[in-house]
Structure formats: C-alpha cells, structure tokens
Amino acid sequence: MTRPSEPIPRGGNPPPDDDGFARFWNAVPDVAFRAIGIAVFLGYVLWRSGSYREFVPFDNEAWRADATRTGLRLAQQVLIDATYLLIVAGFCVRIRPIRRATDPGRIALAMVGAFWPFLPFVAAWFFSVVDSEMARDWQHFMWRADPATWQVLVAGGLVIAGLVIEVWGYSYLLRSLSIVPEARELKVTGPYRLVRHPIYFGQFLAQAGVWLVLANTHIVWITFYLIFVGLQLARTRMEDRVLAEAFGERYLEWKGKTFWFA
C-alpha cells in the first residue's frame, strides 16, 4: 500500500545526461533556483499588495457602487496571493529530487506553460510604457467593456473555485514543488486522492473564467486559453512519466485510483 507523501530513495541516483546543457543545468546549485523562485513570487505579491487599498475601508465607494463585484475581486486577490505565498513556502522547504530535470525541451515547455497566463498582462504593461493610447486599445481588446451580472458571477465563480483547488493542491504539494518535471514525493492525500494533477485542474477552471467569460469573445482569447490547456496537459504527461520512472508500481496503483484527462 502506498503511504501518504512517500519519500524518494536517496541513493543510486543516475548521473546527469552527458551533454552541455545538462552539465550546465546541474552545475547550478538548487539554492539558486530556490532564491529565484522566492524572489519572483514573493516580489510579485509585495508589488500587488498596494492594490488592497481599493477595498479599505469596507464602506468605500467601490463597495457602495457594486458590493458583489468588489467582493469577488477581493476574494480573487486573496486567493491569488495565497497561491503565490504557498509557492514561496514550497521553494523554502522542498526536498531534493531523485534526479534534476536536464532536457532543455521539457524545461522550456514547463516554463512557457507556467508563465503563459501572464503574457497578455506583460503586453499590457509594455504598451503602457510605450504609448498610453496603445495601452487603452489593448485593454479594450482584452476585456468586455461592461460584462453582465451573470458573466461576472460565472467568471468569479470559476476563478474562485479554481483558486481554492490550487491553494488546496499547493498546501499538500509543498515539499515536492517544482516548475520543471522532477520527482520528489508521491503525493496521495488531500486533493491527490481524487485527481492526479489538482493544481492544473484548478488552473483550467480559473483561466476559463478569465479568458472565456471576462475576456472579449474573440478567436485570439479562445485560442490563447486552448494553448494554455494544451501546454498544461503536455506538462502532466511529462510529470507522469517522471513519477512512473521514480515510483513504479506504487505510482501505477495510485494512478488507477485517480482521475485525469489522459
């Protein structure tokens, strides 16, 4: 029987792949990856922290104008920040993998998938620096000008449900956290009792609320969301392969009891 969060064997790790990139990647100490991850995600939370002023005091103009939408925005921001703080905690406490990822294609795909949802917002920031009119046009292209109440509620429900699942997943993942496909522990408790990749499942829901409901109905945003789903499914296949190689029959037993799309 597989035990919850069974640790990876420490001995007998195979040598890194004999190529230049693998040697370079493995030469970078794990503490460097941890420091970068902590700086990026904690920095983002701190940068966003000033936006909480929008919600205080709780009887301000935003709450009086539309308490429902303001409450949804606050809940989303709290859950997003909780997600990133859990990622920071994961970088702090994660254990060493049985073998670090070295394949440049897999690493690149994992990185693109992880940061894909940020691309339109990076573009918005770029346009705001270059030209204010371009920035306004981009915002008009991205978002519905005046979404109906049902759209706000559906989008908010999807985003909040997805973020709750993500927070739940990250709270159990912690010591096995990794952006690239690496095996550390076999997680079989919490949401991992039901779904093999609960964090990705939560992301599918949350991003659907953003790009299929709140964003303008346009082939660009529909395609953007479908590419995101495709990238994450590719990441799950890579991660499943790594877990199968690391845990063998224990992984297959757990896989047979859980749901995923492929």
Tell me whether residue 79 is in a domain. Answer: yes
Please state, rounded to an integer, the average pLDDT across all residues of the chain. Answer: 91
Cα–Cα distances (Å) from 125 to 47, 77, 177, 200, 207, in that order, read 14, 19, 29, 26, 20
Tell me whether residue 171 is in a domain. Answer: yes
Tell me whether residue 1 is in a domain. Answer: no
Find the angle CA(141)-CA(143)-CA(148) to the nearest 5 degrees: 135
Model confidence band, residue 101 (pLDDT cutoffs 50, 70, 90): confident
- Number of domains present in the structure of the chain: 1
Tell me whether residue 261 is in a domain. Answer: no
The pair of structure tokens assigned to 216 is 């303008």
Q: What's the CATH number where 27 sits?
A: 1.20.120.1630
Tell me whether residue 260 is in a domain. Answer: no
Neighbours of 190 (CB within 10 A): 15
Q: Give which of 144, 114, 101, 122 is closest to 241, Cα–Cα.
A: 101
- This prediction has a pTM of 0.90
Residues linked to residue 215 through DSSP beta bridges, in sequence order: 143
Range of the domain at 163: 6-255
Tell me whether residue 262 is in a domain. Answer: no
At 158-213, the pLDDT tens digits run 999 999 999 999 999 999 999 999 999 999 999 999 999 999 999 999 999 999 99
What gap in Å lies between CA 110 and CA 100, rounded to an integer? 14
Q: Give which of 249, 251, 234, 248 is closest to 196, Cα–Cα.
A: 251
Tell me whether residue 129 is in a domain. Answer: yes
